[in-house]
Amino acid sequence: MRRVLTLSTAAAAVAAVAVLCVALTAGVAAAPDAGAVPPASGSGPGAGAAPSASADECDPGDGTELVGCWNGTHYEESVGFAETDGLNETQLEALTDLTMARVEHVRQRPFKEDVPVETVTRSEYANDTASGNGSEAFRRWNDQVWEALFVVGDETDANDEIDSVFGGAVSGFYSPSQDRIVIVVPDGESPDIDPSTLAHELLHAMQDQYHDLTAPRYVGATQDGDLAVDGIIEGEAVHVEERYAARCADNWTCAEAPESDGGGGDGADFNFGILQTVLQPYGDGALYVRELRDEGGWAAVNATMNDPPASTAEVIHRNPDYEEGNVTFEDAATGGWETYPDQGVEGAETTGEASMFVMFWYQSLEYRHAVLEPDATVRQNVEIHLDAEAQLETRATYNYAHPVTDGWAGDELYPYRNGDRDGYVWATEWQTEDDAAAFRDAYVRMLTAHGDGEYAQGTVYEIGSESDFPGAYGVERDETSVTITHAPSPEGVLELRPDADLALPDADGSDGDTNGGDDGDANGGDDGSDGNTDDGTDGNTDDGADGSDGADGSDSGNGSDDTDDSTPGFGVAAALVALAAVGLFARRSA
């Protein structure tokens, strides 16, 4: 399903990331041509698009071939009510007809059929989507994935964290299997509709009518694959929604969006690592779609919909020809360690560039460790996420590109189990040796920030039980490859990787060489900027910056009882619950 995330209440969780907010209609003046529809001739943005009908051509009895006219409502008309809260059935139908006509005009393509719109309360949605997602094996496997990303700690259930994000932050979804839109509304109040949310979801309905969103190509086999596919699906929806909002700010008369709790009410406690991972397709994807459209018109967007991106790196760098490398990994574990062959791709997850960037960035936000840039303050490391090279026309967006992760060429993360012990081996590949060294150094900085001792090249590193990520870690770099191994004990690391060139730490805790390895100083803390200072720059300050609320009105579909949806928006869940989270984190459950 396709879900729209609204994140205003996340401000209560982390005040200092207020600037992270990407409001649906941020107070940025629309560009002069924002939302404008150019001629349908030539090779520019209008290439291959249909012109909109005039008001005189729009009659109730007309068919579906006209653009900008639906059920007799022309896109230049307006609804007869000023606000969208407390809508009755007739008003909802009128708003839907007008929004469909306007989406047609902006997208320059007609709908093929009506799209039903329904509402569900926040509590009903949260209850129906609460997991249950997946088998016990999947949940345990998935826990290791998010622990490997240093986003969900050892004592925390990743699936519960995921539920808290989607249950509290989703404002609507489109269900391809049921061809309907469901809007999530606040409890105890009259149903209200955000016109931008409705436009976003209607664009997904249009995508489904032309491309069939239940097709296998819209389900990534891995986390990175799912996010990459969403780069085009969500990117187009945000691009159209943005142009829609720009027209409302410029020359359309639009009903005012309701004041919303943003999902969940005050004090919502989202996991921002998960949240910012899920949001990546909405900003980067919209920029990608804008570039596609600028260069090749809507025809280029259609072509990319038919051949979706394969990696988040392709979307982040807006490079359809992005090349990946070959990840080499051979299971040689001893001592009873086993992979999960029925999960992921033969037991492996691919996290990808976007998730890796969030991993390092999240350490600054949540734990006050300066990992991406150790010579900068914690606040500056948090603000890296806000420093995007390109912006959308009516709002800010997030940055997911950084030299530490820019050189990604592939990765395979294999969770292991051994009785009640868990571990993993994470094999990563990089474009150049310098790229591999940059990632390896940042990873070691992250380890030592969570641990108590300095890192010794070639020695298993231990993090104590007081950390969210306790246990032993082995880090190896071989030219363009970096392999990370984790187990509860140093001996477990060598059981998982018996051929690794790693030594056990000395019994007295002395590890010998502390220079951070052959790739330079990787300790990430010798300059006082490792996030352990009390300089007031952490992500938990109350400086009035609350920006976690809007995250671009993006959606990520999770819908009603679509237990068999092979839909985008993070794939397919096992047929277990109504409103099953067809989400990034349950797509491959057994």
Q: Greater confidence, 520 or 182?
A: 182
Distance between CA atoms of residues 391 and 406, nearest Å: 19
Report if residue 476 sits inside a domain. yes
Q: Give the pLDDT score at 80.
A: 81
pLDDT digits (tens, 9 = 90+) for 496-545: 999 999 999 986 544 444 334 444 333 433 333 343 433 433 433 333 33
Residue at 98: amino acid letter: L
What contacts 198, CB < 8 A, 6 or more positions away?
A: 95, 96, 99, 117, 172, 181, 183
Report if residue 67 sits inside a domain. no
Q: Give the pLDDT score at 180.
A: 92
pLDDT bin (cut points 50, 70, 90) of residue 190 is low
Burial of residue 139, with CB atoms counted within 10 A of its CB: 0-12 exposed, 13-18 middle, 19 or more buried: buried
- The contacts found for 295-304 with CB under 8 angstroms, 24 or more apart, are 296/43, 296/47, 297/43, 297/44, 297/45, 297/46, 297/47, 297/48, 297/49, 298/45, 298/46, 298/47, 298/48, 298/49, 298/107, 298/108, 298/109, 299/47, 299/48, 301/232, 301/236, 302/48, 302/210, 304/232
Burial of residue 552, with CB atoms counted within 10 A of its CB: 0-12 exposed, 13-18 middle, 19 or more buried: buried
CA dist list (Å): 335 to 87, 140, 269, 492, 497: 63, 20, 40, 8, 11
Report if residue 333 sits inside a domain. yes
DSSP letter string over 372-435?
Answer: S-TTS-HHHHHHGGG--SS--SSS-------TTTTTEEEEEEEEEEETTEEEEEEEEEESSHHH
Strands (E), 35-177: 69-70, 73-74, 117-121, 170-175
Distance between CA atoms of residues 290 and 277, nearest Å: 21
Q: Give the pLDDT score at 168.
A: 65
For 516, phi and psi rounded to 5 degrees? 85, 10
User: For 200-213, what is the mean pLDDT?
Assistant: 97
Say yes or no to pLDDT of 192 above 50.
Answer: yes
pLDDT digits (tens, 9 = 90+) for 377-417: 999 999 999 988 888 877 778 999 999 999 999 999 999 99
Distance between CA atoms of residues 43 and 293, nearest Å: 10
Of 269, 304, 299, which Cα lies nearest the Cα of 288? 304
Report if residue 532 sits inside a domain. no
CA torsion angle 123 129 135 141 (round to 10): -100
241 and 200 in contact (C-beta within 8 Å)?
yes
39 and 51 in contact (C-beta within 8 Å)?
yes
DSSP letter string over 70-103?
Answer: ETTEETT---S-SB-BS--HHHHHHHHHHHHHHH
For residue 266, how many other CB atoms are within 10 A of its CB?
A: 9
Report if residue 369 sits inside a domain. yes
Longest alpha-carbon distance in the chain: 86
Report if residue 376 sits inside a domain. yes
Report if residue 517 sits inside a domain. no
Q: Which of 196-200, 257-261, 525-529, 538-542 has the highest mean pLDDT?
A: 196-200
Burial of residue 502, with CB atoms counted within 10 A of its CB: 0-12 exposed, 13-18 middle, 19 or more buried: buried
With 0.75 as the threshold, say if the pTM is over it: yes
Judged by average pLDDT, the poorest of 199-213, 462-476, 559-573 is: 559-573
Of 298, 303, 392, 363, which Cα lies nearest the Cα of 106? 298
pLDDT digits (tens, 9 = 90+) for 454-505: 999 999 999 999 999 999 999 999 999 999 999 999 999 999 999 999 999 9
Residue at 371: amino acid letter: V
Query: Residue 288 CA to chain centroid, in angstroms?
Result: 15
H runs (alpha helix) in 427-513:
433-450, 490-496
Count: domains in the chain: 1
User: For 37-45, what is the mean pLDDT?
Assistant: 43
Residue at 83: amino acid letter: E
Of 455, 451, 485, 483, which Cα lies nearest the Cα of 470? 451
Distance between CA atoms of residues 402 and 589, nearest Å: 32
What contacts 478, CB < 8 A, 6 or more positions away?
A: none
User: For 350-358, what is the mean pLDDT?
Assistant: 98
User: For 38-43, what is the mean pLDDT?
Assistant: 41
Residues in the chain: 590
Report if residue 169 sits inside a domain. no
pLDDT bin (cut points 50, 70, 90) of residue 109 is very high
Q: Give the pLDDT score at 567.
A: 23
Over the chain, what is the mean pLDDT?
A: 79
What range does the domain containing 452 cover?
222-505+573-589
